[in-house]
Amino acid sequence: MPEKKPGSADHKTDAAGKHASGAPWRNFYGRFKGKTLKDSQKTYLEEDLAALSPGAVGWEENPERTNLDLQALFGDREVWLEVGFGGGEHLVHQAQNNPQAGIIGAEPYINGVAMLLGKIRKATTNNIAIHPGDARDVMDVLPEQSISRAFLLYPDPWPKTRHHRRRFVTQEHLKPLATVLKPGAIFRVATDIPDYVRQTLEEVPKAGFERIRASDAELHACWDDWISTRYEQKALREGRTPHYLTFRRLG
């Protein structure tokens, strides 16, 4: 039987709507696993994942929600966060080109986690930490104003109107993100869905951000240090236009 995830309908809660671990009720609508993993990917998960943990993130091992020790994790490096790293192309690219930064990636889709672990083995980077789960749990245990840069790249678009509340660019996600970002920190969003752009432009400023790179030309111009991901390549093959939005945390 698969493990019951916090937020699933059959996970017991108390009268206040919290789980036995103390976790709040959080629905998760994405996939945890896709096609069968390759043997090599299973090896990566078994041998490499635990060593790349940022620390106690989950509610069961950290019910008090004690902050992660970022100094112990990355030393004096600044810390970045990638929400939903997909196959990990961008995360590894940034880690290789920014040794002055430590990057925490959160991704609940285990196939994507396995893909990233394979890329890390080839890249031999030492400045990546991985949480194979919900980014909200990571943001719970990050110290306030500790993150210098955050990325949200080709998130699940949830195209149906009734599902727009599931998107990351809602206050449920953006307010905790704003709390852990330093004043002046950069938040990048890439998407090929025009309505996701609309909601991003409406919601992100409400959480304490200002938009930069705001011209029409810059909206469709990738960042100088960008590497195109497999999700972007799929969008281009299917005739959709990438959008690149940049925000600065006010403070």
Residue 23 lies in a domain: no
For the question of residue 156 being annotated catalytic, the response is yes
> b/e map of 25-47 (b: 16 or more CB within 10 Å)?
eeeeeeeeeeeebeeebeebeee
Which one is catalytic: 39, 48, 69, 156? 156
pLDDT confidence bin for 23, thresholds 50/70/90: low
Partners of 130 in the beta sheet? 105
| Mean pLDDT along residues 25-41 | 65
At residue 21, the pLDDT reads 55
Which of helix, strand or coil describes residue 71?
helix
pTM: 0.87
Quote the tokens at residue 191: 């998407």
Residue 7 lies in a domain: no
Residue 83 lies in a domain: yes
Residue 135 lies in a domain: yes
pLDDT in tens, 172-194: 999 999 999 999 999 999 999 99
What's the half-sphere exposure (Cβ side, CA atoms, 13 Å) at 236? 9
Residue 199 lies in a domain: yes
At residue 22, the pLDDT reads 60
Residue 145 lies in a domain: yes
Q: What is the mean pLDDT of the chain?
A: 89
Number of domains in the chain: 1
Residues 49, 54, 101, 223, Cα dihedral to 10°: 70
Residue 205 lies in a domain: yes
pLDDT in tens, 188-211: 999 999 999 999 999 999 999 999
Residue 218 lies in a domain: yes
Strand ordering across the sheet containing 78-83: 128-131, 101-106, 78-83, 147-153, 181-191, 243-249, 209-212
- In percent, the amount of the chain with pLDDT more than 70 equals 86
Residues 87, 213, 77, 54, Cα dihedral to 10°: -40
More confident residue, 71 or 34: 71
Domain that residue 230 falls in: 39-249
**CATH for 50:** 3.40.50.150
pLDDT in tens, 106-136: 999 999 999 999 999 999 899 999 999 999 9
